[in-house]
Amino acid sequence: MKYILILFIVGFSLAGDAQNSSATWNTLGKITFKKEFDAALGFKIDKPIFSEEILALSGKTVEIKGYIIPTDGYKSHTEFILSAFPYNMCFFCGGAGPETVMEIYAKTPIKFTSEAITIKGKLELNADDVNRLIYAMSEVEQIDSK
């Protein structure tokens, strides 16, 4: 009975961690866009409008689980894109939206894997620079390693 109770407690704590990471993507998905003319580009762009929940996370350390989208070959990276979805379903390759990817700036290189990784870092929001993604994380550390 004691072992069953321990397994039950451990199972719920692990489920809480996974829920925490997916809850971050769910919160980041609470975004809307408005068409706005960009003088530099000469046409209208979709400008992100961040919800209050997203704004509350700006500058905070958050935990998130996702898939590495390499930008410089398949090696260890300090800069890469993290996607809520695997490579074949990500924003660049599939039908997902721009709120499902973010720029990652890691403290130390994170080895490429096709499996999901969990990381933590400081969330940054971008509503103005069309040459960058709308989300970025700096000071990133991998918190799971298999």
Of 136, 81, 137, 139, nearest in space to 108 by CA: 139
For the segment 90-104, what is each residue's pLDDT rounded down to a tens digit?
665 666 788 999 999
DSSP character for 95?
Answer: S
Tokens of 7: 């397994």
106, β-bridge pairs: 140
Which domains, and CATH codes, for the chain?
A: 2-30+59-142 (2.40.50)
The pLDDT score that the predictor gives to residue 9 is: 34
**pTM for this predicted structure:** 0.79
Kindly indicate the confidence band of residue 19, based on its pLDDT and cuts at 50, 70 and 90: very low
For residue 34, pLDDT over 70 is answered with: yes
DSSP notation for 115-126? S-EEEEEEEEE-
Euclidean distance between CA atoms 19 and 28, whole angstroms: 14
Greatest mean pLDDT range, 22-26, 97-101, 121-125: 121-125
* Whole-number Cα distances in Å, 38 to 46, 47, 128, 130, 132: 10, 10, 10, 9, 15
